[in-house]
Chain A
Amino acid sequence: MSNQKKRNFQIEAFKHRVVVDPKYADKTWKVLEHAIHEIYNHNASGLSFEELYRNAYNMVLHKFGEKLYSGLVSTMTSHLKEISKAIEAAQGESFLEELNRKWNDHNKALQMIRDILMYMDRTYIPSNHKTPVHELGLNLWRDNIVRSSKIQTRLLNTLLDLVHRERTGEVIDRGLMRNIIKMLMDLGSAVYQEDFEKHFLEVSAEFYKVESQKFIECCDCGEYLKKAEKRLNEEIERVTHYLDAKSEIKITNVVEKEMIANHMLRLVHMDNSGLVNMLLDDKYDDLGRMYNLCRRVPNGLLTIREVMTSHLRETGKQLVTDPERLKDPVEFVQRLLDEKDKYDSIINKAFINDKTFQNALTNSFEYFINLNARSPEFISLFVDDKLRKGLKGVSEEDVEIILDKVMMLFRYLQEKDVFEKYYKQHLAKRLLSGKTVSDDAERSLIVKLKTECGYQFTSKLEGMFTDMKTSQDTMQGFYASHPELGEGPTLVVQVLTTGSWPTQPSATCNLPSEMSALCEKFRSYYLGTHTGRRLSWQTNMGNADMKASFGKGQKHELNVSTYQMCVLMLFNNAERLSYKEIEQATEIPAPELKRCLQSMACVKGKNVLRKEPMSKEIGEEDAFFVNDKFSSKFYKVKIGTVVAQKESEPEKQETRQRVEEDRKPQIEAAIVRIMKSRRVLDHNNLISEVTKQLQQRFLPNPTEIKKRIESLIERDFLERDNVDRKLYRYLA
């Protein structure tokens, strides 16, 4: 054993003999190059995938990736250049088809090439930051075909031309379009947008600008909108068929801008066919279309809403200030309800119940209803009419519907307290004359008012109903305890609690002896059970049924007011009576007496009295007789004058004054309430707080509030702050 040379025993990797054959790379490349040619020439079937793959693999492995890659680039490029020439040569229609075909070919080829060169794709390319094969293929296609100078413009123009033709009604090959567009999309969104979409949008804008101008000159609003809608739908459909989905919003914006936004004002205000006309004629379809289209453009809905609001306000204002309409309050309110129904329908059917439109409707109604100071009175008269006769025979549900509609109008009123005053008056008359069609309807309305305005509002009204009921019981008790009165005239008394009922000054009136005796008996009966109360007869509110026989034996039953009864009873004892004698005997105040006599002597069909002279006016020297020649078709004749009517001017002033007087304490109470809790408050805030608190009933005038504040200062409820004159302080 020699120790000289200790050989380390190593196992070495078996090395192939590295044949650095310079021609090796070339040879291998030639094979691959040839393969690529064959692929492009549709001769790929003869190739061995495995062999080619191996070749490519080896090239990369032996560090010839660079050669392979650059070879690939130049080979593909030269092929593409030839393809480009072929496409350019295509004529007319076949241009796109040729392009499409070649594109498909290219893709197939690219796939195969990529498969073959997959090893390079995965190793050499990433580590050398080269473009992957597939992407490379697309880029080369893009640069050599799509953006080649001879093709680029022609391609774009062809595409745009096809779109234009389709827009003008021709049928085009959509499939082909789709493929070409898809090609652009595949090449990258930058290509799609730069090379096509951008121009597409520009051209479209121009197209629609021209078309919209043409249409607007010759179409009316409804037709134009139909056309615009059609075009819009077409474009959306176009996108689904052969454009990138992302283009939809862009092209629709173009159409919206050119066809709608640019012409919106002109359309909306178009004479004889614009928005206002559509509203007037209830053109639901057109309105719906306008709504949908305007919704798409900035301020579109705002514009429609504004036009609708100003039209509605104008219409409403005319309605409420038209002197003709004001003659019939019931008709007046009916017109308002009809108008509301109309717009409710429009908003429902055409404006998809858009809340902003509902609000605009409410605001408009609030505006014009309050332009007429008599609106509260008229609404009450409307209700009165319905409750007297209008609701006769109407089903319960329908009654509710009508009352709900009335409540809606009520809500729009600013001066709800004025309504309350009139409603009370009218209700009183209805109750006392027994002329209400449905008790349930009455009560239903009271409940609605209570829900809307609170207990305060309706407590007195409910008190009125209670009085009626109580009076019935009282009458029963009265007659039960006085059976001897069964023979004589029947007395029906309603005992009204002062404060619940509208105040009326009671005037003098001498009842005929039969009645006054009866009334006294009732009074003592009543006061017997209710000590400490005081009764005063309201002779101006009563009525009477009387049997009368006239000269030729005709008999009638007359329904008259208490005053009229007093007058007529006088004629039981006298043939002829002068005005003065009647006045003296009855002591009825002159204006009422004159009215009463007029209703019995000067009205055809009700002239139970005859007057000399036969003038229409009642003179102090006139003489009255029973009209023996009186005739009427009916046995029962109604001459009473207790129906609620539109107030005369002086009555209206009086009511208005009473309302104003009632408001003063309410304002003061609000001021005191607020100051008590806030202790110190500045002027402007006090005014706005007071207004807020009272607005459920009425809108207080800031001047009036100021007056009340000053009155409270004078009475030492409040004081002004010494330093800051804007502040008020509560004085405990």
Chain B
Amino acid sequence: MPRASKRKAAPASSSSVTAPPPDQSRSRTAKATSKTRLKESDQIDNLFDTYANSSLGQIDPEGIETLCSDMKVEYTDVRILMLAWKMKAQRQGYFTKDEWQAGMKALKANTLLKLVKTLSELKKEAEAPQNFEDFYSFAFKYCLTEEKQKGVDIESTCELLKIVLGYQFPSQVDSLVEYLKVQKDYKVINKDQWMGFLRFCKEISFPDMANYDENQAWPLILDNFVDWKKQKSGGR
């Protein structure tokens, strides 16, 4: 990846750009960039090796846990999930070398410190309207640990909902989670229903749910949820 920015040519300390004299400096900086480039990817790799399980060649759940504590971030923090999203991680609890490299590069982080710093930006990025649905969808897929698994069990779904949506739609998530735990119709939630939850939070006014029309193509589980909620609040 060509380093266009001269700023990065100087490691550690970054600030103003000084225009060095042409020719000589260019070759100097050119050398510097390639060196730093190497250095950066090395750093990324080194970081990877720090946490990776050597026999597996991947960072495993334990490694992630360590990474989290080093970053002083909770294991269940949504930003970790977002990190996985940024890395396009395929398997829950594991980061492959490629995934790690791609993610770190995309985040423009090569040290742990930088990684921590970018986490808050990452959160904003993931929550941006144009990205959130993608992230939300990823979060579900990420939980499908078995091959050919199509649904996530209720317990995990509830946890996931809290992590992913709890910040933006707290009251909806609380109600939904409560409902999911008491209902008996479904033991797993599939992708369609999962996406339905997001749509529900975005489109339906809450808690009155006045604009919910069960004759529309909402997943049945949401029809039942709305009925349950209405009954609970002493409605019709």
Binding site for B on A (CB under 8 A): 682-684, 702-703, 706-707, 709-710, 713-714, 720, 725-728
Instruction: Tell me the bound Cα distance from A703 to B221 in angstroms.
Output: 10
Residue of B150, B192, B217 touching A683 (CB-CB under 8 A): B217
Instruction: Tell me the bound Cα distance from A683 to B190 in angstroms.
Output: 19
Q: Beyond the given A706-B220, A710-B219, please list 12 additional residue pairs across the A-B interface where CB-CB is below 8 A.
A: A683-B217, A703-B223, A706-B219, A706-B223, A709-B217, A710-B192, A714-B150, A714-B191, A720-B192, A725-B217, A726-B216, A727-B217
Given A720-B192, A725-B199, are A710 and B216 also a contact pair (CB < 8 Å)?
no
- In the complex, 20 of the A-B residue pairs with CB atoms within 8 angstroms, ordered by the A residue number, are A683-B216, A683-B217, A684-B215, A684-B216, A703-B220, A703-B223, A706-B220, A709-B217, A710-B190, A710-B192, A710-B193, A710-B219, A710-B220, A714-B150, A714-B191, A714-B192, A725-B216, A725-B217, A726-B216, A728-B217
A730 to chain B minimum Cβ distance, whole angstroms, is 15
Contacting residues of chain B (210-236) with chain A, CB-CB under 8 angstroms: 215-217, 219-220, 223
Instruction: Tell me the bound Cα distance from A21 to B150 in angstroms.
Output: 129
Given A725-B217, A726-B216, are A713 and B223 also a contact pair (CB < 8 Å)?
no
Instruction: Tell me the bound Cα distance from A710 to B199 in angstroms.
Output: 16
Contact pattern, B 171-205, Cβ under 8 Å of A = 1, otherwise 0: 00000000000000000001111000001000000
Among B192, B193, B217, B220, max chain A CB count under 10 A is at B217
Binding site for A on B (CB under 8 A): 150, 190-193, 199, 215-217, 219-220, 223
Q: Which residues of A contact B191 (CB under 8 A)?
A: 714
Find the B residue at minimum CB distance from A707: B220
Among A702, A703, A706, A709, max chain B CB count under 10 A is at A706
Instruction: Tell me the bound Cα distance from A544 to B199 in angstroms.
Output: 66
Instruction: Tell me the bound Cα distance from A728 to B215 in angstroms.
Output: 14
Among B191, B192, B223, max chain A CB count under 10 A is at B192
Q: Which residues of B contact A727 (CB under 8 A)?
A: 217
Find the A residue at minimum CB distance from B199: A725
Find the A residue at minimum CB distance from B203: A725
B160 to chain A minimum Cβ distance, whole angstroms, is 18
Instruction: Tell me the bound Cα distance from A166 to B222 in angstroms.
Output: 77
Instruction: Tell me the bound Cα distance from A728 to B190 in angstroms.
Output: 17
Q: Which residues of A contact B150 (CB under 8 A)?
A: 714
Instruction: Tell me the bound Cα distance from A401 to B215 in angstroms.
Output: 44
Cβ-defined contact, B223 with A714, below 8 A: no
A458 to chain B minimum Cβ distance, whole angstroms, is 35
A725 to chain B minimum Cβ distance, whole angstroms, is 6
Q: Which residues of B contact A703 (CB under 8 A)?
A: 220, 223
B213 to chain A minimum Cβ distance, whole angstroms, is 10
Find the B residue at minimum CB distance from A716: B150
Cβ-defined contact, A714 with B190, below 8 A: yes
Find the B residue at minimum CB distance from A719: B192
Find the A residue at minimum CB distance from B217: A683
Cβ-defined contact, B223 with A726, below 8 A: no
Instruction: Tell me the bound Cα distance from A649 to B220 in angstroms.
Output: 30
Q: Which residues of B contact A714 (CB under 8 A)?
A: 150, 190-192
Q: Which residues of B contact A720 (CB under 8 A)?
A: 192, 217
Instruction: Tell me the bound Cα distance from A726 to B193 in angstroms.
Output: 14
Instruction: Tell me the bound Cα distance from A703 to B218 in angstroms.
Output: 11
Q: Which residues of A contact B219 (CB under 8 A)?
A: 706, 710
Instruction: Tell me the bound Cα distance from A684 to B214 in angstroms.
Output: 11
Please give me the 8 A-B residue pairs with the lowest Cβ-Cβ distance, nearest first.
A683-B217, A706-B220, A713-B192, A714-B190, A726-B217, A707-B220, A710-B219, A683-B216
Instruction: Tell me the bound Cα distance from A301 to B219 in angstroms.
Output: 46
B9 to chain A minimum Cβ distance, whole angstroms, is 44
Q: Which residues of B contact A709 (CB under 8 A)?
A: 217
Instruction: Tell me the bound Cα distance from A720 to B195 in angstroms.
Output: 11
Q: Which residues of B contact A702 (CB under 8 A)?
A: 215
Instruction: Tell me the bound Cα distance from A501 to B147 in angstroms.
Output: 41
Find the A residue at minimum CB distance from B221: A710
Instruction: Tell me the bound Cα distance from A706 to B199 in angstroms.
Output: 18
Q: Which residues of A contact B199 (CB under 8 A)?
A: 725
Q: Which residues of B contact A684 (CB under 8 A)?
A: 215-216
Q: Which residues of B contact A725 (CB under 8 A)?
A: 199, 216-217
Instruction: Tell me the bound Cα distance from A727 to B216 in angstroms.
Output: 10
Q: Which residues of A contact B192 (CB under 8 A)?
A: 710, 713-714, 720
A720 to chain B minimum Cβ distance, whole angstroms, is 7
Q: Which residues of A contact B190 (CB under 8 A)?
A: 710, 714
Q: Which residues of A contact B193 (CB under 8 A)?
A: 710
A325 to chain B minimum Cβ distance, whole angstroms, is 34
Instruction: Tell me the bound Cα distance from A703 to B222 in angstroms.
Output: 12
Find the B residue at minimum CB distance from A684: B215
Instruction: Tell me the bound Cα distance from A714 to B190 in angstroms.
Output: 7
Q: Which residues of B contact A683 (CB under 8 A)?
A: 215-217
Instruction: Tell me the bound Cα distance from A703 to B191 in angstroms.
Output: 20
Instruction: Tell me the bound Cα distance from A684 to B213 in angstroms.
Output: 12
Instruction: Tell me the bound Cα distance from A189 to B150 in angstroms.
Output: 89
A727 to chain B minimum Cβ distance, whole angstroms, is 8
Find the A residue at minimum CB distance from B224: A703
A403 to chain B minimum Cβ distance, whole angstroms, is 41
Instruction: Tell me the bound Cα distance from A727 to B217 in angstroms.
Output: 8
Q: Which residues of A contact B215 (CB under 8 A)?
A: 683-684, 702
Instruction: Tell me the bound Cα distance from A565 to B219 in angstroms.
Output: 56
Find the A residue at minimum CB distance from B193: A710
Instruction: Tell me the bound Cα distance from A728 to B192 in angstroms.
Output: 12
A150 to chain B minimum Cβ distance, whole angstroms, is 77
Instruction: Tell me the bound Cα distance from A684 to B192 in angstroms.
Output: 18
Find the A residue at minimum CB distance from B150: A714
Instruction: Tell me the bound Cα distance from A710 to B193 in angstroms.
Output: 9
Q: Which residues of B contact A713 (CB under 8 A)?
A: 192
Q: Which residues of A contact B217 (CB under 8 A)?
A: 682-683, 709, 720, 725-728
Instruction: Tell me the bound Cα distance from A246 to B132 in angstroms.
Output: 81
Q: Which residues of B contact A726 (CB under 8 A)?
A: 216-217
B153 to chain A minimum Cβ distance, whole angstroms, is 15
Instruction: Tell me the bound Cα distance from A702 to B217 in angstroms.
Output: 11
A416 to chain B minimum Cβ distance, whole angstroms, is 26
B187 to chain A minimum Cβ distance, whole angstroms, is 13
B198 to chain A minimum Cβ distance, whole angstroms, is 11
Instruction: Tell me the bound Cα distance from A727 to B150 in angstroms.
Output: 22
Find the A residue at minimum CB distance from B191: A714
Q: Which residues of B contact A706 (CB under 8 A)?
A: 219-220, 223
Instruction: Tell me the bound Cα distance from A713 to B151 in angstroms.
Output: 13
Find the A residue at minimum CB distance from B192: A713
Find the B residue at minimum CB distance from A713: B192
Instruction: Tell me the bound Cα distance from A414 to B199 in angstroms.
Output: 36
Q: Which residues of B contact A728 (CB under 8 A)?
A: 217
Instruction: Tell me the bound Cα distance from A337 to B38 in angstroms.
Output: 93
Find the B residue at minimum CB distance from A682: B217
B134 to chain A minimum Cβ distance, whole angstroms, is 12
B142 to chain A minimum Cβ distance, whole angstroms, is 19
Instruction: Tell me the bound Cα distance from A725 to B223 in angstroms.
Output: 15
Instruction: Tell me the bound Cα distance from A703 to B216 in angstroms.
Output: 11
Instruction: Tell me the bound Cα distance from A720 to B219 in angstroms.
Output: 11
